[in-house]
Structure 1
Amino acid sequence: MTIATDDAPSTTSKLNEERASGIAAVSQSRGDDLIGRSVTINRPRDELFAYWRDFSNLPSFMDNVEQVDILSNTTSHWVVKAPAGRTVEWDAIITEEKAGELIAWTSAENADVPNSGRIEFRDAGARGTIVTATIAYDPPAGVVGKVIAKLFQREPAIQARRDLRRFKQLMETGEIATAAWTQKQRDEEKA
């Protein structure tokens, strides 16, 4: 078991050459914009990997992901919220997987949003596990689409940070904290 000593985002980490080549593969696969986000979660690596690897769990903490349908052991279909009430869809294909350590993927041809990435799980000793998401994507409509997505809080760089924070909350506490009112609270306020 190797304990990570560098929890910098993968795009800047100097931990080892294997990770650097993995990140290079992400950015060359699908997408021009590359983002990397990390979070340390106080849970065992294998537990976090198992939860993430069941892609049907992802909508439970990924705010913009409406649905992930498992098509096979290596292929899944994603439906994701986009700006202005739209959705975008694509099939994702796992390109590399190491049990308990990483999952890498790329979108199939003709995806609404071409993308690729990897999610890594590294031991952080007594602190738990460092989870790092690295994503490359091509925003629809190029720079204009990226600006619009940012305005509507749907831009992947914003979402990756928030989704990892929600994943941390869910795994450490069993729930995701929110300031949003429930329907019951709204009804009580009106009464």
Structure 2
Amino acid sequence: MSQPIKVEKTVTINKPAEELYRFWHNFGNLPRFMKHLKDVKVHNNKRESSGHATRTHWTTSGVLGGSVEWDADIIEDRENELITWASVEGADVDNSGSVRFQPAPGDRGTEVKVVTKYNPPGGAIGATIAKLFGEEPEQQIGDDLRRFKMLMEAGEIATTEGQPRGK
């Protein structure tokens, strides 16, 4: 059996925690900056106070043009501070994690910290194959956070895609 893969990444964004949390908490926004994420749907929106977690359905692009889907529950949701989640039992991708929003030192915006842990499909072999296709989790989450920063600070994500190359 393979060990779970754990990734932690932090980025400082020059925006208030409330604004960043609100954008992230609208889970349909996540594919705007998470490159491999196709869609996130909320199944029910019962708050924790009612004793029910919010269930979400995630669809990502997989290797060779396929897609991978799973359901996850929002375990903890502290407004403007923290969102934690865990995939439901039997999910194609067994994963859990959190995103934390906290004031940056010196009143320089907000530190956004993502921690994710998952067991790759197919165990260690699946993780090795994923790396061959450029799906390195640490790099991917770092890239996603940089795109989130650009989107929140500049209102768009700077890209060179589709631009002609200079000679």
Identify the match of residue 39 of structure 1 among 11, 23, 28.
11
In 1, Cα distance between equivalents of 2:69 and 2:158 = 28
Q: TM-score, normalised by structure 2?
A: 0.88
What residue ranges of structure 1 are gaps of 5+ in the alignment?
A: 1-30, 186-191
Higher strand share: 2
Is 1:153 aligned with 2:134?
A: yes
Look up the match of 1:188: none
In 1, Cα distance between equivalents of 2:73 and 2:29 = 17
In 2, Cα distance between equivalents of 1:66 and 1:155 = 18
Look up the match of 1:163: 144
Runs of 4+ off more than 4 Å: none
Is 1:78 aligned with 2:54?
A: no
SS at match of 1:71: strand
Give the deviation of 1:141 after TM superposition: 1.2
SS at match of 1:143: helix
SS at match of 1:51: helix
Look up the match of 1:108: 88
Give the deviation of 1:66 after TM superposition: 0.3
In 2, Cα distance between equivalents of 1:118 and 1:44 = 19
- 1:129-180 Cα deviation digits (max 9, x unpaired): 0000000000011112111211212232221111000000000000001111
Identify the match of residue 117 of structure 1 among 93, 97, 115.
97
RMSD over aligned CA atoms reads 1.5
Give percent identity, aligned residues only: 48
Look up the match of 1:57: 29
Higher helix share: 1
How many residue pairs get aligned? The number is 154
